[in-house]
């Protein structure tokens, strides 16, 4: 088995991490920052919007179990890819929708998926997801790792993340490890 990596930004990385952690074939999900200019940014710096970085996750997965296209299906359905620099109450460039591709095949797959989503009528507005080459990925501070699993009763988790996780099981149950697995 050769592991592959995909990098997604879909709003708060706590949300994105929680969703991808529950998929079969996903070996690791790491929250971090990418897409900006400042080396080694802190959470506070990224939150200011001044670094250009997005809150993102790097997903290490087994392509023999789950494909990059299946990861894209989950990504495009479990956040709003039509709002520029915003997800729910989280506003700013750090919360933009983006896929940072590792190679030409990932870029082509993302562009194809965006065209498919736009043509499907899934959303009223067109997809504004940024498609950019992966630059340096900076791992987030340790307190951001596995945040939802450790803080499910935290108000943000209960109000914003739990509904995304429930939607994942309802819509993509066959791709998940099941509600009790993490």
DSSP string, 79-114: S-TTSTTEETTEESGGG-EEEEESSHHHHHHHHHHH
- pTM, two decimals, is 0.95
Q: How many CB atoms lie within 10 A of CB 166?
A: 11
What backbone phi and psi angles, to 5 degrees, belong to 168? -60, -50
Residue 115 CA: distances (Å) to CA of 42, 76, 78, 137: 34, 12, 17, 27
Is 12 marked active-site? yes
pLDDT digits (tens), the chain, 182 positions: 689 999 999 999 999 999 999 999 999 999 999 999 999 999 999 999 999 999 999 999 999 999 999 999 999 999 999 999 999 888 999 999 999 999 999 999 999 999 999 999 999 999 999 999 999 999 999 999 999 999 999 999 999 999 999 999 999 999 998 765 55
- Mention every residue, 6+ apart, whose C-beta is less than 8 A from residue 171: 77, 78
Catalytic residue among 12, 15, 47, 157: 12
Length of the chain in terms of residues written: 182
Closest by CA position to 99, among listed 73, 130, 128, 70: 130
35 contacts 100 by C-beta, under 8 angstroms: yes
Q: Are 109 and 65 in contact (CB under 8 A)?
A: no
CB contact at 8 A, 152 and 162: yes
Please, what are the domains in the chain?
4-174 (3.30.1060.10)
């Amino acid at each position: 088995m050769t592991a592959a990596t995909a990098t997604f930004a879909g709003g708060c990385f706590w949300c994105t991490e929680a969703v991808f952690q529950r998929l079969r074939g996903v070996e690791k999900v790491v929250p971090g920052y990418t897409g900006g200019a400042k080396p080694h940014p802190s959470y506070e710096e990224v939150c200011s919007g001044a670094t250009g970085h997005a809150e993102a996750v790097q997903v290490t997965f087994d392509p023999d179990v789950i494909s990059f296209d299946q990861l894209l299906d989950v990504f495009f359905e479990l956040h709003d890819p039509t709002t520029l620099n915003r997800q729910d109450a989280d506003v700013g460039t750090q919360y933009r929708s983006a896929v940072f591709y590792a190679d030409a095949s990932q870029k082509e797959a993302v562009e194809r998926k965006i065209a498919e989503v736009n043509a499907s009528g899934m959303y009223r507005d067109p997809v504004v997801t940024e498609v950019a080459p992966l630059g340096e990925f900076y791992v987030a501070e340790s307190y951001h790792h596995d945040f939802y699993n450790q803080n499910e009763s935290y108000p943000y988790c209960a109000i914003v993340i739990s509904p995304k996780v429930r939607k994942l099981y309802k819509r993509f149950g066959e791709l998940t490890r099941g509600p009790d697995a993490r």
